[in-house]
Amino acid sequence: MRTNQQTTLKTSVTLTGIGVHSGNPAEITIHPAAANHGIAFLRTGTTTGNDRLIKAHFACVSATELCTVIGDVETGAVATVEHLMSALYGLGVDNALIEIDGPEMPILDGSAHPFVQAIDSVGLAACGAPRRWIKVLQTVRIETGRAFAELRPIDRGFRLDVEIDFESPVIGRSRKAMDLTPASYRREIAPARTFGMMKDVERYWKAGFALGASLDNTVAIGETAIVNPEGLRYADEFVRHKFLDAVGDLALAGLPLQGAYRSYCGGHRMNVGILEALFADRANYAIVEGQGTRREAARTEFGAGLGIAAFAAEL
């Protein structure tokens, strides 16, 4: 598959599971979509009875506490989109429609690996249109206390440098930096699981979070050790998962990024916040097409002409 061509899935693929926060069952089907469609979620099973199309875009983010939520809770939202968005971005999928029958994505094993396996099982197809990127032209940075996130220009590709620093001696401080490619993503990032502190479980439950969390989908951290009997998949699995989350949140730019991302003690809020900072000034970025040929977008909202793929009439 040529990297300068847009892609989609060859055919639809379905996954089922439970939401890590709601504990409710969920089924998703990832459908192919036409060129320039981008990524969007078709939320069914809403309280109003009306299906809702939600663009996978940072402007549609409605919450970032413990997970990333897009859409409006009252009329139809989708929570915990970051793992699937990460898999789509990591594998280079430009266009897809995700049909989901409830308010939260299935957590599966807590990583992006099951999504990668599902996408790989059907394969990718070229859409017959050039890929577009968002090229970072000048450095943007946000800070909250000791935490920060920034995007800066680079000549080509997308590089992430993510650092975490937890008081827990089990996690501690670690850093992961890597150029993002489908091969590196599959090998080094996709299998890294979400994690949580055992001491916080009761507080999360009272707040309505982590109701579906278990040792099957979360790395549980005690005071001095990992609770999961199988241990970790990587010695630095915690920072790799934060890297995975950052990829998924930054996918909400609407197009792939050409630039370098750096964060320290970041999270969903800062990942989305750096996109808000980037797009706050038109001088910060440009749209490039094909193999580096500069081209201004016809509209400033990426994929603003979002359309339903040809198969959607059959849903």
Average pLDDT over residues 222-234: 97
**Mean of the pLDDT values across residues 275-287?**
98
3-state secondary structure the chain: CCCCEEEEECCCEEEEEECCCCCCEEEEEEEECCCCCCEEEEECCCCCCCCEEEECCHHHEEECCCCCEEEECCCEEEECCHHHHHHHHHHCCCCEEEEECCCECCCCCCCCHHHHHHHHHHCEEEEEEECEEEEECCCEEEEECCEEEEEECCCCCEEEEEEEECCCCCCCEEEEEEECCHHHHHHHHCCCCCEEEHHHHHHHHHCCCCCCCCCCCCEEECCCCECCCCCCCCCCHHHHHHHHHHHHHHHHHCCCEEEEEEEECCCHHHHHHHHHHHHCCHHHEEEEECCCEECCCCCCCCCCCCCCCHHHHHC
pLDDT digits (tens, 9 = 90+) for 138-150: 999 999 999 999 9
Point out the least confidently predicted range of 27-36, 172-181, 207-216.
Answer: 207-216
pLDDT higher than threshold 80 for residue 300: no
pLDDT at 195: 97
- Asked about 113 being catalytic, the answer comes back as no
Q: Out of 21, 37, 57, 268, pick the active-site residue.
A: 268
Question: Stretch 26-34: mean pLDDT, rounded?
Answer: 98
pLDDT at residue number 2? 57
Q: Does position 215 have pLDDT exceeding 50, yes or no? A: yes
Average pLDDT of the chain, as a whole number:
91
Q: What is the pLDDT of residues 94-128, one digit of tens each?
A: 999 999 999 999 999 999 999 999 999 999 999 99
Least confident of 44-48, 214-218, 292-296: 292-296
pLDDT tens digits, one per residue of 160-210: 999 999 999 999 999 999 999 999 999 999 999 999 999 998 888 888 889
The reply, when asked if residue 245 is annotated as ligand binding, is: yes
Give pLDDT, residue 77: 94
Above 60 in pLDDT, residue 311?
no
Average pLDDT over residues 60-85: 95
Is the pLDDT at 55 greater than 50? The verdict is: yes
